[in-house]
Structure 1
Amino acid sequence: MSQDQKTWNFSAGPAVIPRPVLERAQRELLNWNNCGCSVMELSHRSPEFESILSKAEQDFRQILSIPKNYKVLWMQGGATAQFSAVVYNLLGSFDKTADYIVTGAWTSKAVEEAQRLGARVNVVANTKSTGHNGALPPISSWEFTPPSESAYIYYTSNETVHGVEFPDDEAFFSSLPAGVPVICDMSSNIMSRKIDITKYACIFAGAQKNIGPAGVTVLIIREDLIGTRVNPSLTIPIMLDYKICAENNSMYNTPPTYSIYIAGLVFEWLQSIGGLAAIEALNLRKSSKLYDTVAKSDGFYRCPVKEGYRSRMNIPFRIYGKDGQASKELEGKFLKEAEGRGMVQLKGHRSVGGIRASLYNAMPEEGVDALTGFMEEFRRANV
């Protein structure tokens, strides 16, 4: 591939970052805002970095319409650290039960961590038996813990490995026990569509999908929960304590300053193109084009996820041979030829195989057009 060709990065994360953001960061790399040094060199206690942090939070709040009674915390350890932090900060006590809705690999890992810390876990629904293809049983069959005994309800809004996006609709929320805090891992679809923050007690997201580079995790939490539901039997590690983080404006120690700076640039970029309304429409167009290509391939390409649960962010599919079976040979050929055309990071997760195209906010529609065009060519050449 020549140097002037475009590369379309379909990585599930760390993921593609908007080109205007990268270009601006490049311009500002050596001398941010005429201060004479790089953001990477700024003290996190300096007025310069405090202005970066303040502006990033302000824009983030505006994009998601975050109410004033919610805190925004910038934490470390990725979303995985929050599997533990949620238990430490929100379980309340070991007499309480935590309800988990399992739709893929990452919620499964969250359950394992909660149990490892001694929490009593009730798995309300689990799609493991169907290979996490999104086929949830009817909500009417879910057995939630009674509100008086429940610590929280936890789910992942978008499972990157299996390509399952939870149907975030009114029917779901109206079925939940009243008054029980809802915790959501939104790492891979935050800022991809409009959401009602008030329906959640706590939302967290690793940055490396739609927010920015790896290294920072953003947490949105209702203020009344901070420090009030701590499990007295567990000593919270300092870096996982929401109260300490909030009291120190996310700067108890040195935060990932450069990741926060890039996140702030991403927020500005998203606002410049029309905010959530514009990006949601774009994401729907992009994913529809890819799903339509799969549907019109006469079974050559097949998506394992049930309709109604298919992700707009991570789209897995398999390639089937003449014997009616998924063909690793064809998939290997597809990946090699796609890479030759500048389409990279399309290999499915090692636990499920196949192909996976991640279409996060920063993936241009042109990249999806390139992929679907190649898919049609590849099918004609290999049926």
Structure 2
Amino acid sequence: MRIRPYNFYAGPAALPIEVLEQAQAEMIDYKGIGMSIMEISHRSKEYEEIHNEAQQLFKELLKLPAGYKVLFLQGGASTQFSMIPMNFLSPGKTGNYVMTGAWADKAIQEARKFGETVIAASGEVNNYMEIPSISDIQVNPQKAAYLHITSNETINGSQFHSFPHMDHVPLIADMSSDILSRPIDASQFALIYAGAQKNLGPSGVTVVILQEEIIRNIPAHLPAMLNYETYTQHNSLFNTPPVYSIYMVNLVLKWIKQHGGLAGLEKRNTEKAKLIYDAIDQSGGFYTGMVKPNSRSLMNITFKVHNEQLEKLLLQKANAEHFIGLEGHRSVGHLRASTYNAVPYEACQALADLMIDFQKRNG
């Protein structure tokens, strides 16, 4: 039997084995219909049940109040970088962004193509290894169309542990890499978006959770596929949605519910991350975490070895022992362990053990 690797890829990322097994069992014949879910119409009752159930599971897990819609789009979070200013950044208003790293920067660069943008706070002074303090975020509420944050920077490994609140300024968040990893007060947000391929399922679908009030004044001239109203009015069925990706998201949401919901996952994710952070912090400088402790991510743990040659040797040893995805992003280098919801506790324990053993042998 082929060994299943310890998967620490940053995305596409690990999926729960139970979900993969169910998808495998239903691949050719979905619930006795004699066909795969990929082969049937998105207007069929079988698919619409999956679609609507997934939306309802999001509402349940996030405890969404009335007045929110769950949408399924395509194009990844990168398309949302453009859609947000296209839909909400009107003349005379400003798009306000907290600059926390590479993904926040991509959102800012797209917004500048459509209107005036303001950096409301920046972590540049700390090389983006610390999230700006909430108290440092400066927004002019008279001019602000919205305030945008990236809740978790996948590349740097930094994460917001609390969220800003500005009276009368809609809060928008890219939660691609930490959505549904912990309980949040979703009512703080006017819009949340996330590519699925880290915590929700495979790539191909982007989830957008929005407050209906925010779409009141969307410009009428926008292309249909780049207008949020198109998706709210047609229940994300204006065109053929990414059927199989949404089916997989549905299975993952059920898995989350079965594992204690967001509170259960937060406990599990905290315990997983602690194993690796403890191996770093208790190493006496052999390993160094790259993010300041007050901004550390539970999803993406970035660190380095004190010696470059030893770092390469550790990666070689890890690869030989079936650990994959531990190379840091090319723009940052060093090491990164992505410990998303579906990464098992055992994988994190194995990585921590590997790190401790490697230090003993090479310290």
- Whether these two folds match at TM > 0.5 is yes
Shift of 1:311: 0.1
Distance in 1, matches of 2:222 and 2:76, equals: 17
Task: Determine if the alignment matches structure 1 residue 344 to structure 2 residue 330.
Answer: no
Deviation of the 1:288 alpha carbon: 1.0
Tell me the CA shift for residue 348 of structure 1.
0.3
Unpaired runs of at least 5, structure 1: 322-326
SS in 1 for 2:142: helix
Secondary structure at the counterpart of residue 197 of structure 2: coil
Residues in 2 aligned to 1:382 and 1:236: alpha-carbon distance in whole angstroms: 59
Instruction: Give 2:338's aligned residue.
Output: 358
- The counterpart of 1:230, out of the listed 218, 222, 245, is 218
Letter in 2 for 1:181: P
What residue is the counterpart of 1:120 in the other structure? 116
- The answer to whether the 8 A contact 2:70-2:209 is kept is yes
SS at structure 1 position matched to 2:193: strand
Structure 2 residue aligned with 1:283? 269
Identical positions, percent = 44
Matched, 1:195 2:192: no
Aligned residues: 363
1:276 partner letter? L
CA–CA distance in structure 2, aligned partners of residues 142 and 27 of structure 1? 49
Q: In the alignment, which residue of structure 1 is the partner of 2:226?
A: 240
Partner of 2:125: 129
The CA distance in 2 between the partners of 1:74 and 1:8, in whole Å, is 30
Determine the C-alpha separation between the residues in 1 that align with 2:261 and 2:134.
Answer: 32
1:16 match: 14
**Structure 1 position 140, deviation (Å):** 3.8
Cα deviations across residues 341-380 of structure 1 (Å, max 9, x unaligned)? Answer: 1110110001000000000000110000000000011111
Task: Find the aligned partners of 2:17 and 2:296 in 1 and give their Cα distance.
Answer: 27
Counterpart CA distance in 2 for 1:247 and 1:54 is 14
Alignment match, 1:315: 301
Q: Deviation at 1:167? A: 2.2
Cα separation, 2, equivalents of 1:128 and 1:144 = 18
- Tell me how far 1:336 sits from its aligned partner: 1.5
Contact 1:157 1:168 in 2 (8 A): no
- Aligned residue for 1:346, secondary structure, equals coil
Return the alpha-carbon distance in structure 1 between the equivalents of residues 94 and 361 of structure 2.
55
> What secondary structure is seen at the aligned counterpart in 2 of 1:32?
coil
Q: In structure 1, what residue type is equivalent to 2:321?
A: R
1:6 paired with 2:4, answer yes
Ranges in structure 2 where 5+ consecutive residues have no aligned partner: none
> Do the aligned residues in 2 keep the contact of 1:193 with 1:276 (CA within 8 Å)?
yes
CA contact 2:129–2:291 (8 Å) conserved in 1: yes
The aligned amino acid for 2:210 is I
For residues 214 and 371 of structure 1, the distance between their equivalents in structure 2, rounded to whole angstroms, comes to 26
TM-score normalised over the length of structure 2: 0.97
What's the offset of the Cα at 1:126? Answer: 1.2
String of CA shifts for 1:137-171, please: whole Å, max 9, x gaps: x44443312x12110000010000000001225xx
- Aligned residue identity for 1:375: M
SS of residue paired to 2:235: coil
User: Could you say what secondary structure the match of 1:85 adopts?
Assistant: helix
Note the alpha carbon deviations across 1:43-79, whole angstroms, 9 max, x for none: 1111111111011111121111112210111000000
- TM-superposed CA distance for 1:330, in Å, is 2.0
Give the TM-score normalised by the residue count of structure 1: 0.92
1:1-383 maps to which residues of 2 (within 5 A)? 3-91=1-89, 93-117=90-114, 119-134=115-130, 136=132, 138-145=133-140, 147-169=141-163, 172-173=164-165, 176=166, 178-226=167-215, 228-231=216-219, 235-321=221-307, 327=308, 329-383=309-363
Write out per-residue CA displacement over residues 220-253 of structure 1, whole angstroms, 9 at most, x where no aligned residue: 0001112x23257xx4232221001111110111
The answer on whether the counterparts of 2:288 and 2:305 sit within 8 Å (CA) in structure 1 is yes
**CA distance in 2 between partners of 1:165 and 1:208 (Å):** 18
Q: Distance in 2 between matches of 1:237 and 1:9?
A: 39
What SS class does the counterpart of residue 294 from structure 2 fall into?
coil
What whole-Å deviation, never above 9, does each CA across 1:13-38 have from its counterpart, x for those lacking one? 00000000000000000000111100
Matches of 2:7 and 2:45 in 1, distance apart? 36
**SS of equivalent to 1:34:** coil
Provide Cα deviations, 1:94-121, integer angstroms capped at 9, x if missing partner.
210111001111011100000022x111
Secondary structure at 2:208's aligned position in 1?
A: strand
Q: Give per-residue Cα distances to partners, 1:175-212, cap 9 Å, x unaligned.
A: x3x11100000111010000111111000010001100
How far apart, CA to CA, are the structure 2 residues paired with 1:371 and 1:12? 16
Distance 1:280 1:139, change over 3 A: closer
